[in-house]
Structure 1
Amino acid sequence: MTVSPPVVLFDVNETLSDMGPLVGAFEEAGMPAAGASLWFTEVLRDGFALTATGENPDFVVIARDALRRHLDMAPGARDDPGQADRVLEVFTHLELHPDVVPGVAALRRSAELVTLSNGSAAIAESLLARGGVRELFSQCLSVGEAPLWKPAREAYEYAAGQTGRRVDELMLVAVHPWDIHGAATAGLRTAWINRTGAAYPSYFQAPEIEAEHLVGLAEILEVSGG
């Protein structure tokens, strides 16, 4: 039987935030719509590369540099030095996915809720506040204060230390298989949110739970634990 965890640890970007508005921001800046997803993937890739060499980079520094390079390569982009910051402004003011508010409200009934982002804690705080659920989370953590980015083991151990729990008392909730794999290898329990119906990569450690959305995850834990 699956027992509800004492602490549910949430990834932030894409897991809680809806990245859809970035597509419009890219198009408005003269970049292709598909560039929004590519840009975010590149930010993560380069952050992981720096993490692999023992560095703990600033997410926004990487994001802004990558945006400027995307703008430089886009034939339709305007010659405007402030354009990258305007796109970043959209990224830092996204809204929650529709399932997040009811999902976290249900999960909060049986667990402490905490976020752990490769971005800044301030962005997570702002996102949750706009959605009206900040008070449901005890902490918003960032790898900026940890030794390394996720999916390095040290990031998850940092979160466990901040909550005063063992790693196996935390369940990471994320849409990213790489995050699920990293948390699982660090000893955390895991739940993969698969809103798109994607196939999970066979080379990563499988999640303990797969759910279509956060409400579904809460229902699984409630039924299994109750």
Structure 2
Amino acid sequence: MTETPRTIVFDVNETLSDMSPLAEAFDAEGLPALAARVWFAGILRDGFALTATNDNPGFADIARDSLERLCADTLGPGDHSAAVGNIMGALTSLSVHDDVVPGIEALSHRAELVTLSNGATSVADALFERAGIRGRFARLLSVTDAARWKPAAEAYHYAAAELGQEPRELLLVAVHPWDIHGAHRAGLRTAWINRTGTAYPGYFDAPDLEAGSLSELAGAIRVA
């Protein structure tokens, strides 16, 4: 990268948190393990739909409501509060990906680090405390305090305003192509973390950088 960003803005869910244990949590409650990914994708889908109609829903509210309906549809009538509680607990007790701790350490010497999540800042805070990297982040931001969810431009502009910077001074880091696209359209620079080696969708704006891990990304960003 020819110009070092002032601030690196991280997505949290899946970008930093390893969500694979959710499959085990689903299986433990008698739900198909593969349903965990469908459930999470549905949270995003419905959150995006509500954002498109100028609502700003709570991530946890959608997660719990959709999970209650999934349990009822899959397991049948009955009290599924324990299963819902256990899975929601698993969602808020995840660990980070293996590359996150060394990557964040390296990137903290490149720029200021903050987050911008569609989830609650308390979840990010607890995730980073468990990983021992909370002190590397200057700010934890959430769309809870913005007008709309990512990938709406208002979410990224909220972050820029909170940080007192221009959008072009920020580098958004995410595993989600939709997040990369939204940030690019909002004027931010972008870095796509592609841990799985998949092809980037041609219908989204391309990232400025692509890396297989956060450590690799750190190596691609020049120190000012």
Look up the SS of the partner of 2:69 in the other structure: helix
Task: Label 1:136 to 1:104 Cα distance change in 2 as closer, same or farther (>3 A).
Answer: same
CA apart distance, 1:107: 0.7
Instruction: Give the percent of matched residue pairs that are identical in Structure 1 and Structure 2.
Output: 54
Could you say which residue in structure 2 is the equivalent of 1:57?
A: 57
CA apart distance, 1:76: 8.3
Aligned residues: 224
CA apart distance, 1:74: 1.7
Could you say which residue in structure 2 is the equivalent of 1:200?
A: 200
Could you say which residue in structure 2 is the equivalent of 1:86?
A: 86
Could you say which residue in structure 1 is the equivalent of 2:36?
A: 36
Could you say which residue in structure 2 is the equivalent of 1:19?
A: 19
Could you say which residue in structure 2 is the equivalent of 1:143?
A: 143
Partner Cα distance (1:187, 1:108) in 2? 23
Look up the SS of the partner of 2:138 in the other structure: strand
One-letter amino acid matched to 1:53: T
1:29/1:77 contact within 8 Å kept: no
2:143/2:155 contact within 8 Å kept: yes
CA apart distance, 1:80: 2.9
Task: Label 1:78 to 1:3 Cα distance change in 2 as closer, same or farther (>3 A).
Answer: farther
Could you say which residue in structure 1 is the equivalent of 2:48?
A: 48
Could you say which residue in structure 2 is the equivalent of 1:118?
A: 118
Gaps of at least 5 residues in structure 2 are none
1:31/1:77 contact within 8 Å kept: no
One-letter amino acid matched to 1:219: G
CA apart distance, 1:86: 1.2
Partner Cα distance (1:78, 1:9) in 2? 43
Task: Label 1:76 to 1:198 Cα distance change in 2 as closer, same or farther (>3 A).
Answer: farther
Runs of 4+ that moved beyond 6 A: none
Listed one character per residue, the Cα deviations across residues 65-121 of structure 1 (whole Å, up to 9, x for unaligned) are 111111112248984322112100000010010101110111110200000000000
CA apart distance, 1:126: 0.6
Partner Cα distance (2:174, 2:26) in 1? 25
The answer to which of 180-189 and 77-86 deviates more is 77-86
Partner Cα distance (2:108, 2:163) in 1? 15
2:172/2:183 contact within 8 Å kept: yes
One-letter amino acid matched to 1:201: P
Gaps of at least 5 residues in structure 1 are none
Could you say which residue in structure 2 is the equivalent of 1:189?
A: 189
Could you say which residue in structure 1 is the equivalent of 2:221?
A: 221
CA apart distance, 1:44: 0.1
Look up the SS of the partner of 1:24 in the other structure: helix
One-letter amino acid matched to 1:54: N
Look up the SS of the partner of 1:57 in the other structure: coil
Look up the SS of the partner of 2:31 in the other structure: coil
One-letter amino acid matched to 2:44: L
One-letter amino acid matched to 1:168: R
Look up the SS of the partner of 2:221 in the other structure: helix
Listed one character per residue, the Cα deviations across residues 1-54 of structure 1 (whole Å, up to 9, x for unaligned) are 522211000000000000011000000111101100000000000000000000
CA apart distance, 1:182: 0.2
